[in-house]
Amino acid sequence: MADEMALLVADVFEAAGVLRRTGEGIAATEGQTQARWQLLSVASENPLTVPQAARRLGVARQGVQRVANDLVHEGLAAFHANPDHKGSPLLALTGNGHRTLEAITSRATRAHGVIAEGISPSELTAARDLLRRLIEQARRHQDHGPVGETP
C-alpha cells in the first residue's frame, strides 16, 4: 500500500508540473503569468484584500502583493477603499482585467478539452473524488506533525 501511495504522489507531482507549465503557456498567450491568471480569477467575482486573496490561493501575502501591484500597473486591476479596513484596500478587476481573464479562460477550456480526450467524464469524476479524499486525509494529519512520525 505504501509503495502504491508513493507512486501516486510522484504521479501527482509530475501531473502538477506538466499542468503548471501548460497553464504558464496559456497565460503567456495574453501576456500574463499563471500567478497573474490565478489572482485575476480569485478577484474576478468580488473585490478582495491582498491577505484574503493570499489565503484563498494558499500562498504568501507578499507574493500576492507584488502580483497585485503588477496587475494594477498594467491596468488590469485597481485598488479601492475598503470600508472595513482603511489600511487594506480591495483589489478589483477593471474591464481590461475581465477581458484578459475571459481570453485566458477560453484558451484554458479548449486546452482542457484536448488534454481530456479519450478520458470519460466518469473517469475524471472518480479521479477528482479520490484526490479530494487524499487531500482531506492529508489535511487531517497536517496539524499533528509529520505524517508517519511516531510520538
Q: pLDDT category, 86, cuts 50, 70, 90? A: confident
Q: Is 91 helix (H, G, I), strand (E, B) or coil?
A: strand
Fold of 2-142: Arc Repressor Mutant, subunit A (1.10.10)
* pTM for the predicted model, two decimal places: 0.81
Instruction: Please tell me the predicted confidence (pLDDT) of residue 145.
Output: 65
**43-80 tens-digit pLDDT:** 999 999 999 999 999 999 999 999 999 999 999 999 99
CA angle 128, 132, 133 (to 5 degrees): 120
- The CB-based long-range contact list for 24-27 (8 Å cut-off, 24+ gap) reads 26/104, 26/107, 26/108, 26/111, 27/104
Phi/psi at 123 (5° precision): -65, -40
